[in-house]
Amino acid sequence: MDDIEIEAVAEVDLSDPVFIEGLPGVGNVGKLAVEHLIEEFEEATLVRRIYADVFPPQVSIDEGVTELTHAAVHAVETPGEGPDLLLLTGDHQAQSNEGHYHLTDAFLDVAEEFDVEQVFALGGVPTGELVDEPSVLGAVANETQLDELEDIGVEFREGEPAGGIVGVSGLLLGLGGRRGLDATCLMGETSGYLVDPQSAQVVIEVLQDLLDFSVDFETLEERAEEMKEVAAKIQEMQQQQQGIASDDDLRYIG
Amino acid sequence: MDDIEIEAVAEVDLSDPVFIEGLPGVGNVGKLAVEHLIEEFEEATLVRRIYADVFPPQVSIDEGVTELTHAAVHAVETPGEGPDLLLLTGDHQAQSNEGHYHLTDAFLDVAEEFDVEQVFALGGVPTGELVDEPSVLGAVANETQLDELEDIGVEFREGEPAGGIVGVSGLLLGLGGRRGLDATCLMGETSGYLVDPQSAQVVIEVLQDLLDFSVDFETLEERAEEMKEVAAKIQEMQQQQQGIASDDDLRYIG
Amino acid sequence: MDDIEIEAVAEVDLSDPVFIEGLPGVGNVGKLAVEHLIEEFEEATLVRRIYADVFPPQVSIDEGVTELTHAAVHAVETPGEGPDLLLLTGDHQAQSNEGHYHLTDAFLDVAEEFDVEQVFALGGVPTGELVDEPSVLGAVANETQLDELEDIGVEFREGEPAGGIVGVSGLLLGLGGRRGLDATCLMGETSGYLVDPQSAQVVIEVLQDLLDFSVDFETLEERAEEMKEVAAKIQEMQQQQQGIASDDDLRYIG
Amino acid sequence: MDDIEIEAVAEVDLSDPVFIEGLPGVGNVGKLAVEHLIEEFEEATLVRRIYADVFPPQVSIDEGVTELTHAAVHAVETPGEGPDLLLLTGDHQAQSNEGHYHLTDAFLDVAEEFDVEQVFALGGVPTGELVDEPSVLGAVANETQLDELEDIGVEFREGEPAGGIVGVSGLLLGLGGRRGLDATCLMGETSGYLVDPQSAQVVIEVLQDLLDFSVDFETLEERAEEMKEVAAKIQEMQQQQQGIASDDDLRYIG
């Protein structure tokens, strides 16, 4: 195997597609969001698999059949006027510093193969406490994109996220911007302690406004309810154990 | 030296050989099994050595003479109707993430050089407690292999092993499957705390059924008896030290 | 992206430029010094950006717009008789052993592209205690440079800094010297616990003498005052907490 | 710089030279031995420097002048009938797994450039306690070398050193043997806690017998005396501190 291999699974004819990434990260917000889109757009087609020796040396197993660790790109021909979608997700980030760069370059090669001009990196930004109504923070590779995003409620806060954006999401903007693509990062506020379907939903809602599509949120809302119950139970247990409890005492639960 | 070098030690003429891997891992089940096969088939011939800079920078010493760390492939012309065997073992896994990929590719190159169409990766699956009658769990790269294995008692359990299969064993299925080979992982149940010759035996018994050969188990059974005594002594010591003891308190003993 | 990419941002015509490096390090002395020079020479022009996959996989964010991690080279045409300046700074060192070598080679490629014959690496040398009047220690790649530096007060002390000089600063001398460049390291004494603008100032003062330029120090002096107040407050807090306090108890504050 | 660079410093005409390596390791036995040979053979000529990006990114400083980390090969034309010598030493081992392989290959390239047919790797083998009269253990790449070594008192003990030989010394035998060179490792017994000039001396004495040269040991003997005093003082301090003391309580002092 080459260090990185892009496997063409199917060919589709897309109109002006945008590329949307959701790999594992804070609150799994990006991954939940992209997986939800793939589920809701029933006609989503797996078009590319990306294998890389910077992924863990591992196979997953489904009903006894193994699958080599990879990232997957699904194509969606949206019903409305908006652009078609290329949806990237997977179970792993790269396992090395250099690997993040090389993997992101491969993802951008896929995007450019489909004549993508706009890339979205989805993720979560940790707030350290449970959030009732999460906002969506933004960052862009290209200043000209700022106004449209602010108009639909994406927030740009000085110095946030502290430390910039790391991993594939950050590099999609850094390397994508250098390739001349419009690259945007949308980050849902999330505690940082729990998988957060609610934050994934607000991020998708921003995409809906921007890209003129519409999906159902019932399954995400159900999972958000479940996570709220989990959070409540943990807080209760902590109150019993410690006398006092605060949101900050929550440990991350994936 | 190149990053990976395959040294041809001898050439043999094999009929429809299968490739069987047993490198160090949980309970050393795979390595014990393959080493037992090499011992029992007295006519086993060393055919290839694989050197790699992702192995530890180390030589072993036998009666004053050093040998560079490597993996070895032995060929066995089986007496019966079944396929001939290529048996891979060694003292080490790769020392880096990428190394697992490159090394597995080299092993598959050897397999394909001998026109192998079927690959077996042998290993152990940890249960966390001592097992009296270990089962053999399976995983396959290719769905069509499932029925034959289930018919002879290999178990396929949803969600096991949790976390998939890592290292060379996992990648033999992941990368071997991508090359179009039939690749199967056979995992003997084992506590995970002790070297487990009994688990190695049940794995070999599955191979015997599948590949129509037959070996003696006397030496493995002796070693299994020894390990049972070791386990009993450890439990006794722990009971004396701690008042109470459970299987879970055992530490791994290689 | 290639492993390392040098982006030409602007072209300038410089007369006999010297190359001055100030990346993050002990007391951030080198980075503070070079950033001060870039601020004070208002006509400084960004001429090169150096991207590398051994930098962290990260973008920084300024008013919502991202920038891929890189090192930057600014050019300054000095008003006086002295040589022009190429000023290298950035937010990160390389993240791997080999990366330091490859990155330093790229920096030297930039220097040689501008026909540089003299390289300065700026940094701090930790003393372990607060220093009232920091000296500047030196090290050179080429023995012939020693006299001129000693004449203007740069100190060369046997066995200092202990352990030699590591990272890009060390390699600029090691690799620069091998290329036949005159390479000098100037290290301001600093506690090692605090960012040290005063130490940065004494390092710049040596450069002024050597290179015949002159800058204002008001902003550095203000920051030095602030850091002295920070140090005083920390010592006070420690005295309250511990009864006794010594300089050695200070923790590093970046 | 290339990943590894061999710099030709001088050319010499040697008769049947042998290659002797002494890099840092247990008790620094190998490095002490080779450095002693370089000192005692006053006509030793520096012939090659080996630079590598797997060495630490570092320069050492001598009287203000820096030197890039490297390994050095000195040539000695011995006065007697015995073979001439190529003496390899340096301040560092490789910093990565793969680096040990690539660096050793470079060292062997130098050896073969000088038509070397015999390689010696010098080192220490830890005993865990202070040794009054250290033996020299051996290991060889080629069985035919065993008898001559046993005849002059080199010991070959089953299972020693446990774990084989790691690092450059091990690979000189592993990779050197694969190149068809006669490669021998000579390991002086040493506590493993202290730099051990006495152990270095007994290793050199074996070389003298084998290679028919003779050096003075006064300086090594003086250093051995000093180390014995250091050891005695440490034991005394430990007895005062702990009531009881044993050799095993010594910490390593480089």
- In 3D, which of B113, B118, B114, B87 has the Cα closest to residue B15? B114
D139–B61: do the CB atoms touch at under 8 Å?
yes
Q: Considering the domain boundaries, does residue B239 fall inside one?
A: no
Confidence (pLDDT) at A242: 66
Confidence (pLDDT) at B243: 57
Calculate how close chain C gets to A8, using CA atoms only, in Å.
22
Confidence (pLDDT) at D248: 47
Calculate how close chain C gets to A174, using CA atoms only, in Å.
4
Tell me which residues of chain C have a pLDDT lower than 70. Answer: 242-254
Calculate how close chain A gets to C48, using CA atoms only, in Å.
14
B164–A60: do the CB atoms touch at under 8 Å?
yes
- C129 three-state secondary structure: coil
Q: How many domains does chain A have?
A: 1
Angstrom distance (rounded) from CA C23 to CA C34: 8
Sheet of B58-62, strands arranged across: D4-8, D45-52, D71-76, D85-90, D18-22, D118-126, D182-190, D136-140, B65-68, B58-62, D165-166
Q: Considering the domain boundaries, does residue A135 fall inside one?
A: yes
Torsion of CA D35, D39, D41, D44, to 10 degrees: 80
- In 3D, which of A117, A109, A101, A83 has the Cα closest to residue A15? A83
Q: For residue D24, which amino acid is it? A: P
Q: Considering the domain boundaries, does residue C144 fall inside one?
A: yes
Which alpha helices (H) appear in chain C, and where do they start and end?
29-40, 97-113, 146-151, 167-178, 197-211, 218-242
Q: Considering the domain boundaries, does residue A159 fall inside one?
A: yes
CATH of the domain at A88: 3.40.50.10900
Confidence (pLDDT) at B130: 85
Q: What is the DSSP letter of A136?
A: E
Q: Considering the domain boundaries, does residue C53 fall inside one?
A: yes
8 Å CB contact between A148 and A210? yes
B170–A66: do the CB atoms touch at under 8 Å?
yes
User: What DSSP assignment string belongs to D79-124?
Assistant: SSSSPPEEEEEES---SSHHHHHHHHHHHHHHHHHTT--EEEEEEE
Confidence (pLDDT) at C243: 58
Q: For B99-126, what is the mean pLDDT?
A: 98
Write out the H or E segment, with its range, that includes residue B68.
strand B65-68
Calculate how close chain B gets to A120, using CA atoms only, in Å.
29
Calculate how close chain D gets to B65, using CA atoms only, in Å.
5
Confidence (pLDDT) at B249: 46
For chain A, which residues lie within 8 Å of any Cβ of chain B, measuring from their own Cβ? Answer: 1, 3, 51, 53-54, 56-61, 63-69, 95-96
- In 3D, which of C161, B144, D31, B46 has the Cα closest to residue A64? B144
Per-residue confidence band for B254, with pLDDT thresholds at 50, 70 and 90: very low
D214 φ, ψ (degrees, to nearest 5): -150, 130
What percentage of residues in chain A have a pLDDT greater than 90? 83
Query: Cβ neighbours of residue B137 under 8 Å, at least 6 residues apart?
Result: B125, B154, B155, B156, B157, B160, B161, B186, B187, B188, B189
Nearest Cβ partner for A57 among B138, B159, B170:
B170
Angstrom distance (rounded) from CA A231 to CA A251: 10
Nearest Cβ partner for A174 among C3, C63, C68:
C68
- C147 three-state secondary structure: helix
Tokens linked to C154: 């740069």
Q: What is the DSSP letter of B37?
A: H
Sheet of A165-166, strands arranged across: A4-8, A45-52, A71-76, A85-90, A18-22, A118-126, A182-190, A136-140, C65-68, C58-62, A165-166
Q: Considering the domain boundaries, does residue A235 fall inside one?
A: no
Q: For residue A47, which amino acid is it? A: V
**Inter-chain contacts counted by CB atoms under 8 A, chains C and D:** 78
Confidence (pLDDT) at B242: 66
**Inter-chain contacts counted by CB atoms under 8 A, chains A and B:** 79
Confidence (pLDDT) at C242: 66
- The 10s digit of each residue's pLDDT in A19-43 is 999 999 999 999 999 999 999 998 9
8 Å CB contact between A196 and A188? yes
Q: Considering the domain boundaries, does residue C25 fall inside one?
A: yes
From C169, which residue of chain D is nearest by alpha-carbon distance?
D58
Q: What is the DSSP letter of C168?
A: H
Confidence (pLDDT) at D107: 98
> Please, which chains are in contact with A (at least 3 CB pairs closer than 8 A)?
B, C
Confidence (pLDDT) at D243: 58
Q: For A186-198, what is the mean pLDDT?
A: 95
Nearest Cβ partner for D68 among C105, C167, C175:
C175
Residues of D in contact with B60 (CB under 8 A): 164
Roughly what angle, to the nearest 10 degrees, separates helices D218-242 and D197-211?
A: 150
8 Å CB contact between B22 and B52? no
Angstrom distance (rounded) from CA C207 to CA C211: 6
**Residue C97: which domain range?**
4-217
Task: Please count the other Cβ atoms lying within 10 Å of the Cβ belonging to residue C227.
Answer: 18
Confidence (pLDDT) at B40: 96
Q: Considering the domain boundaries, does residue D240 fall inside one?
A: no
Check pLDDT > 70 for residue B84: yes
Give helix then strand counts, H and E, for chain A: 6, 11
D57–C102: do the CB atoms touch at under 8 Å?
no
Nearest Cβ partner for A54 among B97, B143, B171:
B97
Nearest Cβ partner for A178 among C56, C68, C96:
C68
Per-residue confidence band for A114, with pLDDT thresholds at 50, 70 and 90: very high
Calculate how close chain D gets to C77, using CA atoms only, in Å.
30
B69 φ, ψ (degrees, to nearest 5): -45, 130
**Inter-chain contacts counted by CB atoms under 8 A, chains B and D:** 79
Tell me which residues of chain D have a pLDDT lower than 70. Answer: 242-254
Q: For A228-246, what is the mean pLDDT?
A: 76
Nearest Cβ partner for A170 among C1, C57, C96:
C57
> Please, which chains are in contact with D (at least 3 CB pairs closer than 8 A)?
B, C
How far is C-alpha B69 from the chain's CA centre?
18
8 Å CB contact between B21 and B104? no
Chains D and C touch (3+ CB pairs under 8 A): yes
